[in-house]
């Protein structure tokens, strides 16, 4: 077998390099085209409908088999007591706690927007929008002593409640926060059965309402099982 000459070897090498220089940009262009096409397809109603159906199927499976049903047992009596005080379903409070902070398991209990505690109250909602520092999105500039003062909260019309009777209403205290959430939801219609209105007032987002109702319905469907854990 004849070995290729140096000239033939060089020619073969350049052919390979040329081929690589053509293939790599071609693959990149094809990948970019496919990515952009998929982004466009996602906006097509049919694709959106398929995604929506898939989400509903997932929720149905979770309902049937009880996935994502776990509620920390230690919180259930707190939900029940606050719910009874404000005549709302305790499962609604559990759903809010689950969605807001995953039952207080998030790394931080203060959001980037300034919402605080297990139920993520904006300071101005907790203390009252009539507070002189409150405007815009509700972060305010409320002194810490006033944030937990029952007198200040009463003065400015906030929703904060001293649930455990220790003389302060603390948005970071699970009992106070739960009672405060119950107070808010009750005032906005949950006590009258208008859950969607109450949830929307808590967070002005239709997606948020759907998310809360999903967990609420999941817990309601398994109410006996959940309540047996604290008996």
What digits encode the pLDDT tens for the residues 183-203?
999 999 999 999 999 999 999
pLDDT band at 55 (very low <50, low <70, confident <90, very high): low
> What band does 69 get if pLDDT is binned at 50, 70 and 90?
confident
- pLDDT value at position 65? 47
- Please, what's the largest Cα pairwise distance for the chain? 100
Note the pLDDT of residue 210: 97
Q: How confident is the prediction for the chain on average, in pLDDT?
A: 85
pLDDT single digits (tens) 160-190: 999 999 999 999 999 999 999 999 999 999 9
User: Which stretches of 44-173 are DSSP H helices?
Assistant: 45-65, 76-86, 90-101, 123-127, 144-147, 150-156
- Asked if 108 and 93 touch (Cβ cutoff 8 Å), the reply is no
User: Mind listing the pLDDT tens digit for each residue in 32-52?
Assistant: 666 555 555 555 555 455 455
The residues facing 149 across adjacent strands are 168
Work out the average pLDDT over 24-29. Answer: 64
User: Which has the higher per-residue pLDDT, 94 or 136?
Assistant: 94
Q: How far apart are CA 176 and CA 160, in angstroms?
A: 7
């Amino acid at each position: 077998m004849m070995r290729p000459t140096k000239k033939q070897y060089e020619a073969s090498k350049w052919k390979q390099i040329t081929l690589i220089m053509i293939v790599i940009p071609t693959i990149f262009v094809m990948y970019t085209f496919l990515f952009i096409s998929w982004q466009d397809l996602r906006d097509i109603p049919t694709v959106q409908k398929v995604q929506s159906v898939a989400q509903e199927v997932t929720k149905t499976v979770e309902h049937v088999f009880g996935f994502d049903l776990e509620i920390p047992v230690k919180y259930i009596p707190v939900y029940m007591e606050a719910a009874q005080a404000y005549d709302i379903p305790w499962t609604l409070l559990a759903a809010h706690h689950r969605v807001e902070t995953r039952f207080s398991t998030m790394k931080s209990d203060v959001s980037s927007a300034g919402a605080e505690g297990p139920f993520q109250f904006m300071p101005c909602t907790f203390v009252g929008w009539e507070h002189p520092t409150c405007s815009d999105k509700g972060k305010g500039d409320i002194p810490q002593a006033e944030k937990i003062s029952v007198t200040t909260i009463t003065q400015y019309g906030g929703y904060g409640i001293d649930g455990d009777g220790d003389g302060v209403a603390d948005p970071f205290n699970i009992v106070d926060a739960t009672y405060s959430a119950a107070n808010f939801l009750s005032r906005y219609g949950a006590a009258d059965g208008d859950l969607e209105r109450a949830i929307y007032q808590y967070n002005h987002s239709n997606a948020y309402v759907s998310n809360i109702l999903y967990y609420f319905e999941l817990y309601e469907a398994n109410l006996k099982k959940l309540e047996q854990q604290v008996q």
